[in-house]
Amino acid sequence: ALLITDQCINCDMCDPECPNTAITFGAEIYEIDPDLCTECEGFYDKPTCVAVCPIDCIIPDPEHVETPEQLTAKFIKLHG
Ligand code: SF4
Ligand code: SF4
């Protein structure tokens, strides 16, 4: 899964683009639910939130490192 750092400026660009509705507004900044983020596996070649973020504050989550196979399995679990 990916992680939004505290540099986030709450611009709301990423939230509507996520195909898994993994991005929501948290206590202070936008947050990614690691149980829903497939790093866009199953939808796009690259994470679409990263593509639209104007300040590049979305990074790999070091506490939720996953292989392509694990991400594909998560996609199948979420979408059948
Ligand atoms: Fe959503 Fe894709 Fe970003 Fe994960 S990488 S939060 S699935 S847009
Ligand atoms: Fe924050 Fe980037 Fe999303 Fe904007 S696009 S809300 S700066 S993570």
Residue 18 confidence (pLDDT)? 98
Domain boundary assignment for the chain: 2-79
Q: Taking the C-alpha atoms of 24, 7, 56 and 78 in order, what is their torsion angle to the nearest 10 degrees? A: -20
Tens digit of pLDDT per residue, the chain (80 long)?
999 999 999 999 999 999 999 999 999 999 999 999 999 999 999 999 999 999 999 999 999 999 999 999 999 999 99
ipTM of this complex > 0.95? Answer: yes
The CB of 5 under 6 Å from ligand 2? The reply is no
With the most atoms of ligand 2 within 8 angstroms of its CB, the residue from 5, 8, 50 to mutate is 8
Residue 19 confidence (pLDDT)? 98
The CB of 41 under 6 Å from ligand 1? The reply is no
Q: Are 55 and 7 in contact (CB under 8 A)?
A: yes
Residue 5 sits at the vertex; the CA angle it makes with 41 and 35, to the nearest 5 degrees, is 40
Residue 7 confidence (pLDDT)? 98
Architecture of domain 2-79: 2-Layer Sandwich (3.30)
Residue 4 confidence (pLDDT)? 98
DSSP symbol at 27: S
